[in-house]
Amino acid sequence: MLEAPFLDIRNLKVYFPIYQGLFRKEVGKVRAVDNVSFNIKRSEVFGLVGETASGKTTIAKAILGVVQPTLGEIWFKGEEISNFNGERRRKLTSRIQMVHQDTSSSLNPRKKVMELIKVALDIHQIGTPIEKQNEVYRILQYVQLPPENFLYKYPAALSGGQKQRIAIARALILKPELLVFDEPTSALDVSVQAKILNLLTKLKKEFNLTYLFISHDLSVVLNMSDRIGVMYLGELVEVGDSQDILTNPMHPYTQALISAIPVISKKELTMLPKMPPLKGEIGSAINPPTGCRFHPRCSYAIERCTREKPNWFQINEKHIARCHLLNGKNINFK
């Protein structure tokens, strides 16, 4: 029998209603995530990349149960988890943990590091007080912060990188199987970012973890992940092996995204597809464009793109993309 995927997201839709007027009549919907399907295998790093407002964070929140999916299913190790609540959800949270984007606002400024990390153990009632303390000690060593120096500090006394390490420790202490990272390094300087990314790679090996890695920075995602999903305005447009996505991007949006990476070395410059900057900016998820949502900004767009949603095309075993032009024709710059 085929092994069930570790995490399987099927036709996930998350809509947020917009209310207006005295009787709070629903006047529209923000289609934050629209029909997204992908799966993550065990001990894999799956990267989600896309611009602001493309729905990356909403997917993460739906997996954690912070927002309720409008439609669709989320399967985690053979269980449908999207409608878990109460005790079942609480048990599940120890297996799926999230590291948030902005640590200076996600860590309680009135709690010390010790309390910040221990709170997860308290909620899940794991161990005696002494065991809890030892566990905090152990986990701080894993994130390379000497416990003696940090246990009784407030977040305000820590630098950005240190705060991010605390946030990672907090997620790790429950020994989760899946970790969701929502732009873990976007607030950090490059020299600190590199340290944190290397730490994540090391922890993954040590604890045999599975990552869902969300970022807007394609060069970070390319280096971190095994597979990548590219999102645009609530929809996935391309999924594939990260090396394959870089060397052989199929969707025009992926190509534009890669060509816009500000690279540094001459060698990298030759790797970028040469193309003019994209027109305009990401549209609104309230009234998304008909047909392919990318068509108003696409320089290859044909009439068909404005009315029909494109289908998925298999490019190779692991690489799929969603564009009308792929139908028999290769739109790659050759």
Stretch touching another protein by CB under 8 A, among 121-129, 194-202, 233-241, 286-294: 194-202
Q: Is 157 in the site for another protein (CB under 8 A)?
A: no
Alpha carbon distance 245, 222 (integer Å): 9
**Least Å distance between CB 302 and another protein?**
21
**Least Å distance between CB 250 and another protein?**
17
Query: Could you say which residues in the range 199-218 bind another protein, by CB under 8 A?
Result: 216-218
Stretch touching another protein by CB under 8 A, among 7-15, 109-117, 202-210, 264-272: 264-272
Q: Is 159 in the site for another protein (CB under 8 A)?
A: yes
Instruction: Collect all residues with Cβ–Cβ distance below 8 Å to 169 and sequence separation of at least 6.
Output: 117, 139, 140, 142, 143, 145
Q: Which two tokens stand for residue 223?
A: 């280096």
Q: Which of 281, 303, 311, 333 binds another protein (CB under 8 A)?
A: 281
State the pairing for strand pair 178-182/96-99. Answer: parallel
Q: Is 128 in the site for another protein (CB under 8 A)?
A: no
Which residue number, 119 or 275, has a Cβ lying nearer to another protein?
275
Q: 185 phi and psi, to 5 degrees?
A: -120, 10
Alpha carbon distance 106, 50 (integer Å): 23
Q: Which of 3, 277, 328, 334 binds another protein (CB under 8 A)?
A: 277
CA distances from 221 to 9, 96, 215, 259, 266 (A): 20, 20, 7, 15, 21
Q: Is 220 in the site for another protein (CB under 8 A)?
A: yes
| Dihedral angle computed from the Cα positions of residues 299, 303, 306 and 309, in that order, rounded to the nearest 10 degrees | -100
Q: Which of 117, 246, 298, 305 binds another protein (CB under 8 A)?
A: 246
Q: Which two tokens stand for residue 45?
A: 């790093």
Residues of the shown chain interacting with another protein in the complex, contacts defined by CB under 8 A = 51-52, 159-161, 189-198, 216-220, 222-224, 243, 246, 256-257, 259-268, 271-272, 276-278, 281-282
